[in-house]
């Protein structure tokens, strides 16, 4: 269990706060698009997947991670600052990546976020590579690859799992199984949807957890992280339900209202709230206040992000290569070079 989780005498309340912040954040992401217009059109919300906060709480400072196109929640739970996140999502210079990456490429080396990825499964081997660095250099850290169930059908995952097991690397593969790869439900993508069972085939420690029970997620992830830290990499699958469509324009025509109602019944935030009240670990008014605080934080973050400006034109050519390296030649300069010679 992480320092944060261990230090707290009310871990469920902390997890509830994190999950509430994630949900409030994601709601503002949707609002941002409406208020700002075009920038950052590729928005994939993690509402319904907030139980992943339990995995994040099991990580230590110094651990690193990669995420996928639906990774806002993980980043926020690992220390992402909502204003700078929203600024990045909106293509603003004040964002984490100077407005060059956006939602699907957000990263923060400061908290060990090695990058979100817009290619399904694309970031998974980077976590393995980070773990290779840790092992080679004798650094005590684990790298966690977060991805969705869609990536369970990508070959690169299995190359990565095999190498991690073969070399006994400190890696945890975390599949956030929200039941859908875009509009394709997992039973239309795989004959055997028992994804955790695939771990054993590769020599990984396999674990499965219900993502609507964040305490169980924390407990299971803490065990998986301990195992990974000792050099036995693992695969943790967390089932949940993607409450909304794949992305902004998706109205989910491929699933019916009854299924959605059932799926949204597995709400990790509501479940944690009910449990807190049931166990008298918090009062209704306290939780309402906490919810309001999260909403205010995210409102302020959104207002701040919307007030930020896009990067200046010259930033186009920054960071294609390292600062002291020959940069690309801007088109106008090149055209001037060519045409000036004849005039």
CB-nearer residue toward another protein: 69 or 273: 69
Choosing from 129, 184, 248, 295, the residue that interacts with another protein (CB under 8 A) is: 129
**Total residues interacting with another protein, rule: CB under 8 A:** 55
Indicate whether 166 belongs to the interface with another protein (CB under 8 A): yes
Please check whether residue 208 is in contact with residue 237, taking contact to mean a CB–CB distance below 8 angstroms. Answer: yes
Q: Which residue has the tokens 């090695």?
A: 114
Indicate whether 144 belongs to the interface with another protein (CB under 8 A): no
Choosing from 23, 44, 68, 126, the residue that interacts with another protein (CB under 8 A) is: 126
- Range list of H helices, 212-330: 214-229, 257-264, 268-278, 284-307
Indicate whether 274 belongs to the interface with another protein (CB under 8 A): no
CB-nearer residue toward another protein: 59 or 217: 59
Quote the CA–CA distance of 335 and 329 in Å, as a whole number: 10
Choosing from 122, 170, 211, 233, the residue that interacts with another protein (CB under 8 A) is: 122
C-alpha distances (whole Å) from 125 to each of 109, 118, 155, 205, 285 are 17, 14, 11, 18, 45
Indicate whether 162 belongs to the interface with another protein (CB under 8 A): yes
Residue 59 CB, shortest distance to another protein, in Å, is 16
Quote the CA–CA distance of 35 and 180 in Å, as a whole number: 28
Q: Which stretch binds another protein (CB under 8 A): 33-41, 112-120, 177-185, 273-281?
A: 112-120
Alpha carbon distance, N-terminus to C-terminus of the chain: 71
Tokens matching residue 157: 């995952």
Quote the CA–CA distance of 214 and 149 in Å, as a whole number: 19
CB-nearer residue toward another protein: 168 or 193: 168
Partners of 239 in beta bridges? 177, 210
Dihedral sign, Cα of residue 243, residue 248, residue 253, residue 254: negative
Residue 82 CB, shortest distance to another protein, in Å, is 18
Residue 168 CB, shortest distance to another protein, in Å, is 12
Indicate whether 132 belongs to the interface with another protein (CB under 8 A): yes
**37 burial type by CB count under 10 A (0-12 exposed, 13-18 middle, 19+ buried):** exposed
| Phi, psi of 239, deg, nearest 5 | -85, 145
CB-nearer residue toward another protein: 145 or 282: 145
| Ranges within 309-338 binding another protein (CB under 8 A) | 318-326, 328, 337-338
Site string for another protein, 37-76 (x = CB under 8 A): ---------------------------x-x----------
Q: Are strands 184-185 and 205-210 parallel, antiparallel or unpaired?
A: unpaired
Indicate whether 343 belongs to the interface with another protein (CB under 8 A): no
Residues in the chain: 343
Enumerate helices (H) and strands (E) in the chain, giving the number of each. Answer: 13, 7
Indicate whether 115 belongs to the interface with another protein (CB under 8 A): yes
Indicate whether 138 belongs to the interface with another protein (CB under 8 A): no
Indicate whether 184 belongs to the interface with another protein (CB under 8 A): no
Q: Are strands 143-148 and 64-66 parallel, antiparallel or unpaired?
A: parallel
Q: Which of 234, 306, 329, 264 has the alpha carbon at shortest distance from 47?
A: 264
Choosing from 18, 24, 46, 143, the residue that interacts with another protein (CB under 8 A) is: 143
Site string for another protein, 69-108 (x = CB under 8 A): --------------------------xxxxxxx---x-xx
Using CB under 8 A, list all residues that contact another protein: 64, 66, 95-101, 105, 107-109, 114-115, 117, 119, 122-134, 136-137, 143, 155-156, 159-160, 162-163, 166-167, 318-326, 328, 337-338, 341-342
């Amino acid at each position: 269990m992480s320092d944060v989780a261990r230090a707290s005498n009310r871990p469920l309340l902390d997890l509830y706060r994190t999950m509430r912040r994630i949900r409030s954040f994601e709601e503002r992401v949707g609002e941002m698009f409406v208020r700002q217009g075009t920038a950052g059109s590729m928005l994939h919300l993690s509402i319904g997947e907030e139980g992943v906060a339990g995995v994040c709480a099991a990580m230590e400072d110094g651990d690193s991670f990669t995420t996928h196109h639906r990774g806002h929640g993980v980043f926020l739970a690992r220390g992402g600052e909502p204003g700078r996140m929203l600024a990045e999502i909106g293509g603003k210079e004040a964002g984490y990546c100077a407005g060059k990456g956006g939602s699907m490429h957000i990263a923060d080396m400061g908290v060990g976020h090695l990058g979100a990825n817009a290619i399904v499964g694309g970031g998974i081997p980077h976590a393995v590579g980070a773990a290779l660095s840790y092992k080679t250099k004798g650094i005590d850290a684990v790298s966690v690859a977060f991805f969705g169930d869609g990536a369970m059908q990508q070959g690169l995952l299995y190359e990565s799992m095999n190498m991690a097991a073969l070399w006994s690397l400190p890696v945890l593969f975390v599949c956030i199984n929200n039941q859908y790869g875009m509009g394709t439900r997992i039973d239309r993508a795989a004959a055997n949807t028992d994804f955790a069972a695939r771990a054993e085939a590769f020599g990984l420690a396999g674990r499965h957890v219900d993502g609507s029970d964040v305490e169980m997620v924390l407990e299971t992830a803490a065990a998986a992280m301990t195992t990974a830290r000792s050099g036995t990499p693992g695969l943790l699958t967390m089932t949940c339900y993607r409450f909304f469509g794949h992305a902004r324009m998706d109205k989910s025509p491929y699933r019916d209202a009854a299924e959605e109602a059932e799926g949204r019944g597995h709400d990790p935030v509501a479940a944690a709230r009910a449990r807190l009240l049931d166990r008298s670990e918090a009062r209704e008014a306290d939780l309402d206040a906490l919810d309001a605080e999260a909403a205010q934080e995210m409102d302020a973050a959104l207002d701040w992000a919307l007030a930020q400006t896009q990067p200046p034109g010259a930033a186009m050519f920054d960071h294609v290569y390292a600062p002291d390296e020959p940069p690309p030649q801007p088109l106008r300069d090149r055209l001037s070079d060519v045409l000036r010679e004849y005039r």
